[in-house]
Structure 1
Amino acid sequence: MGRNPTLTFDRGTLILHPPPHSKAWIDYATWDDRVEKFRIPAIRYRCLVEALQAEDTNFTDEAKGFYPLDLVASLEMTPYPHQNEALAAWKLAGRQGVVVLPTAAGKTYLAQMAMQATPRTTLIVVPTLDLMHQWYAHLTAAFPDADLGLLGGGSRDQTPILVATYDSAAIHAETLGNKYALIIFDECHHLPTDFNRVIAEYAIAPYRLGLSATPERTDGKHADLNILIGREVYRQGAEDLAGKALAEHQIVQIKVKLSQLERERYNQLIQTRNDFLRQSRISLGSLQGWQTFVQMSARSQVGRRAMLAHRQAKEIALGTDGKLRILMDLLAEHYPARVLIFTADNATVYRISQDLLIPAITHQTPVKERHEILTKFKEGEYNTLVASHVLNEGVDVPAASIAIILSGTGSAREYIQRLGRVLRKGNIENKQAILYEVVAEDTSEEGTSARRRGERSNEPQRCEEREEKKEKKKDRKGN
């Protein structure tokens, strides 16, 4: 009688040896000449085990390092209907899948509900250190008797419940892969990158929950979430939850005219750019056209002048003095309400901070100073904050009721995240949130605004997206 097949975990993969006599497992296996054994991707663990069990194949499972937990919650609230519906949909899908809910809709508490419904070793993956500490604080309050730890920011805990940044989890994916039965991917749109996806691919976790307000990615890789986590099982938008889990809100667009001098200069710059585009037969109505413009602009002095003109025209549209006048009017109108001001660049942040004496947060703000500013804002000592991208994601400021977008990218995700900063109800009854979007009229910024609000536009996206990615990389370093 032959030996019983044994399933083991090996640095992000599975080894099944000796091979079973059944056949279904072969669909998942690849022969590895180096060890002369069959190797299976770790992410196929659940499918493999179910296939072996379906054929009544006896095998020894030495791969799984996860185990049940006794989770007793000290922090329990009455769930909103959408949270119960989302949990039920996730369980119905085999406890695998993505839940799409707007910022401030209670995704963290939904994750707690999923952990209570699936009490096993759990890994929570988040994009920033701020979010890592927010999750840790929530879970410590929810499960005070549980053994919780952190991976990232200098912490390297090995605990049954672990909160990790995407960067740290990816670096340690080969060793984390068999330790957790449930993985919760917060802001799961960060997962399908070449670097981060190994967190899911090297893991055998049979249960996976993805959370995001905006899972869609411009590179189309959000489709990979179906494989890495599971299909989308539930979705609600901010409009669906307004007045219920979220504050009632309105969105107001204010168009600002350039001054005569700004308009003349803007038109001159656009003319310089367009002359070059015509001579080079380049159309900016597509991503390919923008890429061609970038390439051609580097090959001649005329091209470099055209690209410089393009950037200077954009700076005029984003930073027109008319926007600052509108900003001052809005601040006076809503005083003493808590206001968040968003811009597309740090230079404008510092300009507003200096001219209007408003506390500013950028990727350059030291961690302690940033924490102090946010604390004073939450406590009401500061009524207004100005930031570029660092408050887009993972910062809890429920006291804010007014958001003013002076400039931004064409990213719908950024737009939704900025709106979400003022949608959290907190302890404020009958909260009415307002998002102001200030746009320079008859400039390229109108196209940028249309894209982030989901309207059609022929303006190329590449420029703004590239700048957004640069800022986010800076923000991560700043965290």
Structure 2
Amino acid sequence: MKTEGAIIVQSDLTVLLDERSLSAHAAREQLHRFAEARKRAGTIHTYRITPMTLWHALDEGWTGEQVVEALKTHAKYDVPLQAEGFIRLWASRYGKLRLYAEDAVLFLNGDADILESLGRIPSVMAWVQTVRSPEIWQLAPDCRGLLKQELAKQGYPVMDQAGYHAGESLSLRLREQTVRGTLFALRDYQERAVGSFIQDGAARGGSGVVVLPCGTGKTVVGIAALARLCTATLILTSSRTSAEQWREELLDKTTLAPDSVGLYNGKVKEVKPVTIATYQLLTRRKSKAGDFTHMGLFNERDWGLIIYDEVHLLPAPVFRMTASIQATRRLGLTATLVREDGCAEDVYSLIGPKQYDMQWKEAEKGAYIASVSCAEIRIPLDASQHHSYSAAAARSRLRIAAENPGKLPVVRELLERYRDKQTLVIGQYLGQLRKVASELGAPLLTGETPHEERLRLYDQFRSGRINVLVVSKVANLAIDLPDASVAIQLSGSFGSRQEEAQRVGRLLRPKQGDNRAWFYTLVTEGTKETEFALKRQLFLLEQGYEYMQLSGAEACGSGLRSEAANG
């Protein structure tokens, strides 16, 4: 036993990290490269190593032996042989299966022993037309995406070297000076991200995911990839507002003419050389059993590139369509690859592997994003709610705790402390948000807010004509609120790590002056909400953020004053 060891590795590749250990920070830095945080209980963080988390590490240059050695370095006890065996087995499969094409015929090449094992799986053999040799299978021509998806589920990653078609050519370049009159050049990390995706002539280029913190210019990376490839491009994004922002950025930073960039939404349906649509529209249909009305957009032009903005939100029908267009280059953009629906394997197999990843704290050190201080404020359940909470079912208990009226005085105190800052008050439940907006005399923005009214509120918020905006979960998406310096979270979607990251992300755009921001999450003490709050914070904790814990009394007294002053 090593008394200084920070982790305990279990045989099923569950890893327990004790944050009280002196080496906990170093261990965490290693773990978040090849393991996923699952939960936190007190000072113990629980991680899990899976084939997917290991493949991402191997994509970034790790080896299986390096992962095993990292675990041994930080383990309090010996690493179980079974755990070592799993890691070595999964690592041994990486890079051993290769898809390639000759004269439009698709082949799978691999280690003979691996192909022999796969030959016993009916769902894999359904796509095999001919066994050319123990190392080469000839495949059905339309199976490229579906086979990769199935093999990933079976624990076998595939190197896709079958190539891409060029698509419809498009003439454009990046501007050195934007239409708005500012000088423009890619930052170093944006250049690296684009280069990692393109990888001219390399086996792994042309498809994959770029992971960058909110506010670091993911849109610019997509635009630069488009300009490098000079091909007709379909851009899929999370909202109509985001789609319009993409169009504005394209026209500002490239030589594309306005009539070459089209919006495809509920109001207008323009199919142009560069077309921007939303996931919501693509997945619209008249009935649950009906066809998706607008999915044909994937075949409207000879797209040479498809960009999936906020790829962590990609809905299942778009995954299915993506499986059939594997000859088109695909770029996913996101701030976090965390998915709560278990579809991480589908992103890996159908969009592509992680090509570039910048850690949030790395971006903060470079002053590319604001430095955010996070705090969790625990508030007693309001006396009027005790009986209803005790009598309620589990799901109802969470909502009662989330809508605790005792949160409003703390919100008022925070707004007073940061009265000179642009502040978002964010929540999950519309009834709660309406009441808070009314009490504060602040405008409310929800999914029901008309698009034109949203744009008006955004403009007023950015210009400083209003400095408090109450928003529902529409704030989780790519909304351009560059001047938001404070966010107060009233309630959230159960234990969504993804949502917590997106909400903190609303604060990350660089600020004038000290480049700082503050995120507060209000949690009802002694209820189900505290349990979900711990899970929500996991992604940010693994990125190096820390949550200061305050009581409601401290928040309304000197504790908050001190915290606000010192950040």
Q: What is the TM-score of this pair, normalised by structure 2?
A: 0.61
Distance 1:123-1:265 versus aligned 2 partners, 3 A rule: same
Structure 2 counterpart of 1:415? 500
Structure 1 counterpart of 2:167? 66
Inter-partner Cα distance in structure 2 for 1:435 and 1:215: 22
Contact 2:523 2:533 in 1 (8 A): yes
Structure 2 counterpart of 1:298? none
| Residue 215 (structure 2) pairs with residue 108 (structure 1) | no
Out of 477, 481, 501, the residue aligned to residue 397 of structure 1 is: 481
Structure 2 counterpart of 1:14? none
Structure 2 counterpart of 1:85? 192
Matches within 5 A, 1:7-406: 25=106, 40-41=142-143, 66-74=167-175, 75=178, 77-92=184-199, 93-146=204-257, 147-169=260-282, 171=292, 172-174=294-296, 176-177=298-299, 179-191=302-314, 193-243=315-365, 244-262=367-385, 264-265=386-387, 269-270=389-390, 272=391, 307=393, 310-406=394-490
Distance 1:356-1:22 versus aligned 2 partners, 3 A rule: closer
Distance 1:381-1:226 versus aligned 2 partners, 3 A rule: same
SS of equivalent residue, structure 1 residue 40: coil
Consecutive unaligned residues of structure 2, counting only runs of 5 or more, are 1-100, 109-126, 131-139, 148-157, 284-291, 540-567
Structure 2 counterpart of 1:470? none
Inter-partner Cα distance in structure 2 for 1:122 and 1:430: 39
Inter-partner Cα distance in structure 1 for 2:307 and 2:396: 43
AA aligned to 1:115 is L
Greater relative contact order structure (CA < 8 Å, 6+ sep): 1
Contact 1:29 1:39 in 2 (8 A): no
Inter-partner Cα distance in structure 2 for 1:451 and 1:240: 23
Deviation at 1:204, TM superposition (A): 4.9
Deviation at 1:260, TM superposition (A): 4.0
SS of equivalent residue, structure 1 residue 211: strand
Deviation string 1:364-402 (CA, Å, 9 cap, x unpaired) is 222222221121111111010011211110211001100
Inter-partner Cα distance in structure 1 for 2:509 and 2:103: 54
Inter-partner Cα distance in structure 2 for 1:235 and 1:145: 29
Q: Report the count of equivalent residues.
A: 380
Deviation at 1:242, TM superposition (A): 1.3
Deviation string 1:74-110 (CA, Å, 9 cap, x unpaired) is 3362333322222222233312111111211210011
Deviation at 1:133, TM superposition (A): 0.8
Inter-partner Cα distance in structure 1 for 2:347 and 2:264: 23
Distance 1:228-1:441 versus aligned 2 partners, 3 A rule: same
Distance 1:311-1:197 versus aligned 2 partners, 3 A rule: closer
Deviation at 1:435, TM superposition (A): 0.3
Distance 1:363-1:169 versus aligned 2 partners, 3 A rule: closer
Let me know the Cα RMSD of the aligned residues.
Answer: 3.2
Consecutive unaligned residues of structure 1, counting only runs of 5 or more, are 1-19, 32-37, 54-62, 273-305, 456-479
Q: What is the TM-score of this pair, normalised by structure 1?
A: 0.72
SS of equivalent residue, structure 1 residue 317: helix
Distance 1:257-1:229 versus aligned 2 partners, 3 A rule: same
SS of equivalent residue, structure 1 residue 253: strand
Percent of matched pairs sharing the same residue: 28
